[in-house]
Chain A
Amino acid sequence: MKRIDLRVLIPAVALAILLVVYFASHPRGFSTRVLTIWSNQSVLLVFAAFAQFFVVMVRGIDLSVGAMVALSNVVASYVLAGEGVSLVFGTFAVLATGLACGLINGLVVTLGRIPPIIATLATGAVFSGVALALRPTPGGAVNEGLSDALSYAVGPVPTSLILILLAGVVFSMIMRRTVFGLEAQGVGSSEHSAALTGISLIRVRIIAHGLGGLCAALCGYYLAMVTLTGDAGVGPTYTLNSIAAIVLGGVSLAGGVGKAWGVVIGALLLKTVAAVMFFSGLPPLTQPFFEGFVLAAAVVLGSLGLVRVRNRLKLFSQ
């Protein structure tokens, strides 16, 4: 094993503490039911955070994450109402929607040579527009059997918790065991070197956006499972929270640095902070203040490693 990465370890410890506090302060205590509610909320942010993660790894940023989530959620509310085989096609349709959105982002960013922040702001507006046109007001229907299967528990373990772990394992494998993963880290940390090594910057960026779009679709899909409706207006919070989650998980917004498990931990941490506040007994109006305070503290702790940096030139280079 490699040395333990402080960028992941510190948020992991913070998460563990907060989880104990959460289950201890929850009026019903620890049970599969409480765990299921927590992990159903968390899995949404985990997928949204991964949508952001792949793009940030290649030194981009995706402001259309929320819009992609909303669009795939709306699509899901149309195609997942049926029975049997149609659900399989419906699932593919939702995932294809996200993938297509991601690939469009990738093409605009690479071939259009438009800075990612502008490009995804624009495409995000387009995706939101399509979602609103498809479903001006929340509505639609989702097969309840499918919804139950995905949003309850398998024995004592919530299905969504299994999905979270699966996402961590699969995406961690992608980053560490595939050529794309290595190339993405290379492109993110040193574009010049990567290009000179014969890596196609365009291809790596497009794949990263495509994967991001797919993750956004997973988020939209699961959202439909939980809410049983499609809502074109769910986007904005996902965009901001996806960025906050990966930063909490030790991913550098400058690209190239970050671990898939860090993303999972960051997303869970962000969700748990909000959940703890809900049951904390603090006056609701002061909750945002404390929520922000805890998050800031977690980020500061995460960068404590920099205290050991003795070279002034390298102080902000991480």
Chain B
Amino acid sequence: MQRAAYAQARACLDRIGADHIALDRTVSELTLAERQLVEIAKALYQKPRLLILDEATSALGADAVERVFAVIRQLRGEGCGILFISHRFHEVHALADVISVFRNGAHVRTFPAGTIDHADMVSLMIGQSLERLFPPRPPLPAYDTPPLLSLSQVGWENELHNVSFDVRPGEIFGLGGLDGQGQQRVLEAVFGLLSRVSGEVRINGQTYSGRNPARSKSRKIGLAFIPEDRKTEGLIPGLSISENLALAALGGRLGPELDPGDRARIAAILDRLELAFGKMEDAVATLSGGNQQKVLLAKWLVLSPRCLLLLDPTRGIDVKTKAQIYTLLAQLAAEGMAIVLQSTDYEELVHLCHRVAVFYQGRIARQLSGDTLQPEMLISAAMGLASDHTAGEVA
């Protein structure tokens, strides 16, 4: 009986391409993407008549999504109803037969897939027409600008090997690749969450050793880190908006009262992000995902960091907020901030970043910029197909 159950579980995981997940690993060891695959496998195991996928692919990279989709299409063929909820257009377009758009808790419209084009669908979703999701790329900093953040030969355990890159002020640097190829670890290593990291990290040309979060956020270093899972790693849900903001801004100061300068900066940042909230005293847990992400951004921007490290900041967030976050990132870069953006959404990397380092098995498989920064190049490099390993190349 038990052996049969294991065999079935194995089969479910293999079917969606999660053959690398051993059955005896605990879920807490898995990455977010692997957990999503386990969730999907769990659902398949029940042989459902109606399968509801609520942002179930939000942390998955392009190839994993494709394998899951293949299984979903097969299920559809077998007569299973699929309800697929996602903020990623191309996924909805690729999968759905009928599309319903919802906005602010109300049904807007239902239509057969293909009858309404991309732009019209976006305007249905946000209730107004959005010229474009992505803002114009900010101007590239002068060629001879010295790098603000520079990594050389960074390695950690078995997950990172010889990672080197430079990010100049004013530049948006993307980290891409399939999930779990080390791109998240790089940012954690820089911010000081990992111990025994080899190699060197330099800020403004000076070696930054003895890294830890408290030192990273100090004015001298000026790093800010937006983690992947805003609910458990980013914000403290029980505290109010203002307390969450204060917590980041306090660095060894005496009272938790923010000084007027901080207050003015917070107001300006929240205004810029168009945060929708009742009172600053409201608990963060009462806000929507998009608004929580805005609070998280605001919390770090209050510190006026010089370099912003982001892990998948738009995962599971509505289009309008996405567009606002993109615009904000472009503005911040134009004001001279160095931005490192890790993302599983390749459109984001292609349209927003100046340069993208594609990771494969803990190494930089390829750096793309300018003409080479195309979706096809990105995906082929992510799959490890690029023949020339130009790791550490400086554009």
List the interface of chain A (C-beta within 8 A of B): 2, 177-179, 181-183, 185-186, 189-190, 192-200, 256-257
Residues in B with CB closer than 8 Å to A186 are: 236, 239, 247
CB-CB under 8 A for A177 and B256, given A185-B239, A186-B239, A196-B193: yes
Residues in A with CB closer than 8 Å to B256 are: 177-179, 181-182
Q: Which of B63-71, B227-235, B330-338, B382-390 contacts A (4 or more CB under 8 A)?
A: B227-235
Min C-beta distance of B29 to chain A, whole Å: 15
Instruction: Give the distance in Å from the alpha carbon of A193 to the alpha carbon of B233 in the complex.
Output: 4
B79 CB-CB contact with A under 8 Å = no
How many positions in chain B have a CB within 8 Å of any CB in the partner chain? 31
Residues in A with CB closer than 8 Å to B243 are: 182, 185
B255, A177: Cβ atoms closer than 8 Å: yes
Partner of B247 from the list A2, A183, A200, A256 (CB cut-off 8 Å) is: A183
B248, A198: Cβ atoms closer than 8 Å: yes
Residues in A with CB closer than 8 Å to B233 are: 192-193, 196
- 8 A Cβ contacts from B194-238 to A: 212-217, 225, 227, 232-238
- The contact string, 1 if C-beta is below 8 Å from chain A, for chain B 171-199, is 00000000000000000000001000000
Min C-beta distance of B78 to chain A, whole Å: 30
Residues in A with CB closer than 8 Å to B234 are: 193, 196
Partner of B238 from the list A177, A198, A199, A256 (CB cut-off 8 Å) is: A256
Q: A179-B252, A194-B236, A197-B213 are in contact. List 6 more A-B contacts (CB 8 A).
A: A182-B239, A185-B243, A186-B239, A196-B213, A196-B225, A196-B233
What are 26 A-B pairs with beta-carbon distances under 8 A?
Answer: A2-B281, A178-B254, A179-B250, A179-B252, A179-B255, A182-B246, A182-B247, A182-B250, A185-B236, A185-B243, A186-B236, A186-B247, A189-B238, A190-B235, A190-B236, A190-B238, A192-B227, A193-B232, A193-B234, A194-B236, A195-B193, A195-B213, A196-B213, A196-B227, A198-B217, A198-B251
Min C-beta distance of A254 to chain B, whole Å: 10
Partner of A185 from the list B216, B238, B255 (CB cut-off 8 Å) is: B238
Residues in B with CB closer than 8 Å to A198 are: 212-217, 248, 251
Tell me the interface secondary structure of chain B in the complex.
loop
Instruction: Give the distance in Å from the alpha carbon of A195 to the alpha carbon of B225 in the complex.
Output: 12
B225, A257: Cβ atoms closer than 8 Å: no
CB-CB under 8 A for A189 and B236, given A177-B255, A181-B256, A182-B256: yes
B20 CB-CB contact with A under 8 Å = no
Min C-beta distance of B257 to chain A, whole Å: 8
- Residue of B with least CB distance to A186: B236
Instruction: Give the distance in Å from the alpha carbon of A233 to the alpha carbon of B255 in the complex.
Output: 41
CB-CB under 8 A for A179 and B254, given A190-B232, A196-B225: yes
B253 CB-CB contact with A under 8 Å = yes
A192, B247: Cβ atoms closer than 8 Å: no
Residues in B with CB closer than 8 Å to A256 are: 236, 238
Instruction: Give the distance in Å from the alpha carbon of A198 to the alpha carbon of B252 in the complex.
Output: 10
Residues in A with CB closer than 8 Å to B235 are: 190, 193
Residues in B with CB closer than 8 Å to A196 are: 193, 213, 225, 227, 233-234
